[in-house]
Structure 1
Amino acid sequence: MKIALLLACLLFPLAALAQDRDFSVSAPAALVDTGVLRHILPRFSLKHGVRITLVEDDGDVQFGAVGTPVFSGLDTLWHISHSDAAGPELFINWLLSDIGRRTINGFKVGDTALFSTDIAVKVVVAKPTFDGDPIAGERLALLHCGRCHVINDSNRMKGMGQTPSFALMRTFEDWQNRFATFYVLNPHPSFTQVKDITPPFSANLPPAIVPVEITQNELEAILAYVATIPPADLGAPLQNQ
């Protein structure tokens, strides 16, 4: 009798812990009807001793279009969202583990695997937008920058040999920042004035060449034009033999 009571006392915390991790799962009917959840859930429950209840709506774990992407199938990328409770946290970690992925990939109807964990999440990179007028920007670039840089084919033979062309600079990852702040990058501060932005030239250090004087709006127009220039094709990188 004493041994039985002792075992009961020892097992009670484990039973209570298992109950604390029990949770519910909900998913769209299209996913439930495939049988994939009846394939996945019992395997997790057996492994971790957690009871899972499949409900129609508002489960502690929800499959759908929101949350962490876990697998694809039925022309859908399935995501999972969950509460912060211990059971759901354990379940999502298991789904993303190697054994969870193998369980999902192993589900078949006949000889056909309906779902795959081999997913690639597409990252959409927003392209920068500019408020300036690119047509005016081309004219301003030729006027102010064309003395040193090749802007386009119209001044192809007029740039200075040591200065990069606009098309070449468009290959730089930070091209937008370089053009937007060119007036602080050497040698430009010595001969460039941007109205209401740059300080006036020192009286004892006048510019050695005719200064470039533009406004912020004109700079934005130049930026808008530069954004339309295709980056120069520099060919494939050299390979070490």
Structure 2
Amino acid sequence: MVTRWILICLALLVPFTAQAQEERLVRLAAPEALHQSGLLKHILPRFSLKTQVRVSTVAPGDPADMVLGDTGRALFEGAGQVWHMTVLSQGHAPTQRFADWLTSEVGRNTVTSFAPDGTPLFTQPQPRAATVAAVTLDGDSELGQRQAQLKCGRCHAVRPEDRFNSIGSTPSFMVLRGFPDWAERFSVFYVLNPHPAFTQIADVSDPFPIDRPSPIAPVEMTLAEVEALLAYVQRLAPADLGAPIQSQ
């Protein structure tokens, strides 16, 4: 009778045990190249031994909690590419624990210590030099020069020969051309103070409030003329501002 009761209790516990194991399972999708490297066989048992969380690998495209591949957070580099992690099961505690382990010092060291032939096969992802696209300004620079003289010349020196014909506190176009962000400054000059108070860009700027009209004759331009202005400024030689001041 006692034996029968024990068997019944064990039978009742089986579903709960299976459910508990399922809840502590992480399904990891990884391509064949990563399997072939042997890395997963190296790191997964070590993670499971430490945390009692089991990781089961599935094929790419199958239901998964986490994916190792080309997108997501960069983890390590080797086997011909940088491997990234994407967590699909947000809020799933075992998956989050695996993700935290992979990005921890212990996890990173476990990956980089994989050296089946004495030489580590994986490293931390190396920083890549940023590719800076060349800015091409194809506006009409001749139109830009005319607009600069007509619309901007009352405050700024817009040509080297005009450097003495400007408001003293207003930087010349040549000085502005020497700033690293000169293109951005000229692209949006109409929203930089004090320009909004007297500048109107067609189809961009809001009309002046009736109770606050422009204090001077408005500067009115189109976006095409702004592009032309940029093309003109690009032609200018930056002013030589000398070496930075050195403090003692």
CA distance change for structure 1 residues 89 and 14 in 2, over 3 Å: closer, same or farther? farther
Say yes or no: does 1:136 pair with 2:136.
no
Which position in structure 2 is the counterpart of 1:165? 172
Contact between 2:157 and 2:171, CA under 8 Å: does it hold in 1? yes
Q: Which amino acid aligns with 2:98?
A: F
CA deviations on 1:60-116 (whole Å, 9 max, x unpaired) are 222111222111223412111232133222211110111111111211242322222
CA distance in 2, matches of 1:240, 1:87: 55
CA distance in 1, matches of 2:116, 2:196: 68
Q: How does 1:210-221 map to 2 (within 5 A)?
A: 211=217, 213-216=219-222, 217-221=224-228
Q: How does 1:3-18 map to 2 (within 5 A)?
A: 16-18=19-21
Q: How does 1:1-241 map to 2 (within 5 A)?
A: 16-58=19-61, 60=64, 61-84=66-89, 85-120=92-127, 133-153=140-160, 155-156=162-163, 158-170=165-177, 171=179, 176=184, 180-182=188-190, 185-186=193-194, 189=197, 198-199=207-208, 207=216, 211=217, 213-216=219-222, 217-223=224-230, 225-226=232-233, 237-238=244-245, 240-241=247-248
CA distance change for structure 1 residues 172 and 57 in 2, over 3 Å: closer, same or farther? closer
Shift of 1:43: 0.9
Give the count of matched residue pairs: 234
Shift of 1:22: 0.6
Contact between 1:193 and 1:200, CA under 8 Å: does it hold in 2? no
Q: Normalising to structure 2: TM-score of the pair? A: 0.68
Q: Normalising to structure 1: TM-score of the pair? A: 0.70
Contact between 2:187 and 2:227, CA under 8 Å: does it hold in 1? no
CA distance change for structure 1 residues 138 and 174 in 2, over 3 Å: closer, same or farther? closer
CA distance in 2, matches of 1:13, 1:110: 43
CA distance change for structure 1 residues 165 and 87 in 2, over 3 Å: closer, same or farther? same
Shift of 1:131: 8.5
CA deviations on 1:175-229 (whole Å, 9 max, x unpaired) are 7367635487338846x66668554999xx984xxx4643324344324544676
Percent sequence identity over matched residues?
Answer: 36
CA distance in 1, matches of 2:18, 2:242: 66
Task: Give unmatched runs, 5+ long, in structure 2.
Answer: none
Task: Give unmatched runs, 5+ long, in structure 1.
Answer: none
Q: Which amino acid aligns with 1:161?
A: G
Shift of 1:42: 1.0
CA distance in 1, matches of 2:191, 2:208: 11
